[in-house]
A and B are shown apart, each in its own frame.
Chain A
Amino acid sequence: DQQVKQNSPSLSVQEGRISILNCDYTNSMFDYFLWYKKYPAEGPTFLISISSIKDKNEDGRFTVFLNKSAKHLSLHIVPSQPGDSAVYFCAASDGLQGAQKLVFGQGTRLTINP
């Protein structure tokens, strides 16, 4: 039972345009969501997050939108740059209690074309 799904395995975008990566979840108890970026042969690095009490969080070129009723979040990158080419994972958490496990999606490989 995949609780967090990224239905697009790959996405190709032209440099300078907007990249939109999508993520869906099924567990209504999730209350915090994160995006990680992963380059080949490196560990994932934290990119941006959003609490379920918000519907938008912005950090420079990166914006995450949360639609709780649709159980959907998206990451917007504007403008896209060649260094953004990486695999992006969304992750969800059901609270800060205990170990606070994260559930990850399958990842989307983003390629920015010059």
Chain B
Amino acid sequence: NAGVTQTPKFQVLKTGQSMTLQCAQDMNHNSMYWYRQDPGMGLRLIYYSASEGTTDKGEVPNGYNVSRLNKREFSLRLESAAPSQTSVYFCASRSYTGYEQYFGPGTRLTVT
């Protein structure tokens, strides 16, 4: 099992460009999450999907959109990137039966 995979690992964008971060899990988990990690800020929730077909805003949703494509995949889209979105982005998943979330390796995004 690969667990949670994320692509790409690194990305550099210019202000105003758009991109989609991809996430997939092979653990048959129902819930999926997108976080961003910034120095001194911990992990902050951007969007989450409790189950296939549902998505909800987290703590810092502005400037982002998400799609729960199917049970395995949950993508994060930046429509018009801004320097404030420079961060490391983590995707995570969880089954209904446990509290633990399992994280992917992250995408390091720089917006210039």
B101 interface residue (CB < 8 Å to A):
yes
Chain B residues within 8 Å of A42, by CB: 105-106
Q: Let me know if B41 and A96 touch, CB within 8 A.
A: no
B61 interface residue (CB < 8 Å to A):
no
Max chain A C-beta neighbours (<10 A), residue from B4, B42, B96? B42
Smallest CB–CB gap between B95 and chain A, Å? 10
Q: Let me know if B106 and A43 touch, CB within 8 A.
A: yes
Q: Let me know if A41 and B106 touch, CB within 8 A.
A: yes
Roughly how many angstroms separate A6 CA and B100 CA in the complex, as a whole number? 20
Roughly how many angstroms separate A9 CA and B48 CA in the complex, as a whole number? 27
Q: Knowing A99-B56, A100-B31 are in contact, say whether A44-B99 is a contact too (CB < 8 A).
A: no
Roughly how many angstroms separate A106 CA and B56 CA in the complex, as a whole number? 23
Roughly how many angstroms separate A98 CA and B49 CA in the complex, as a whole number? 10
Within 8 A of A (CB), among B96-112: 96, 99-106
Within 8 A of B (CB), among A63-114: 89, 91, 93, 96, 98-102, 104-107
Chain B residues within 8 Å of A4, by CB: 42
A21 interface residue (CB < 8 Å to B):
no
Chain A residues within 8 Å of B42, by CB: 4, 6, 89, 104-107
A5 closest partner in B (C-beta): B42
Q: Mark B38-77, 1 if CB is under 8 A from A, else 0.
A: 0011111100111000001010000000000000000000
Q: Let me know if A89 and B43 touch, CB within 8 A.
A: yes
Name the contact of B41 in the complex, choosing from A36, A49, A98, A106 (C-beta under 8 A).
Answer: A106
User: A residues within 8 Å of B by Cβ?
Assistant: 4, 6, 9, 32, 34, 36, 41-46, 49, 89, 91, 93, 96, 98-102, 104-107
User: B residues within 8 Å of A by Cβ?
Assistant: 4, 31, 33, 35, 40-45, 48-50, 56, 58, 90, 92, 94, 96, 99-106
20 contacts between A and B (CB under 8 A): A9-B40, A43-B90, A43-B92, A43-B104, A43-B106, A46-B100, A89-B43, A96-B99, A99-B33, A99-B49, A99-B56, A100-B31, A101-B33, A101-B48, A102-B45, A104-B35, A104-B42, A104-B43, A106-B42, A107-B42
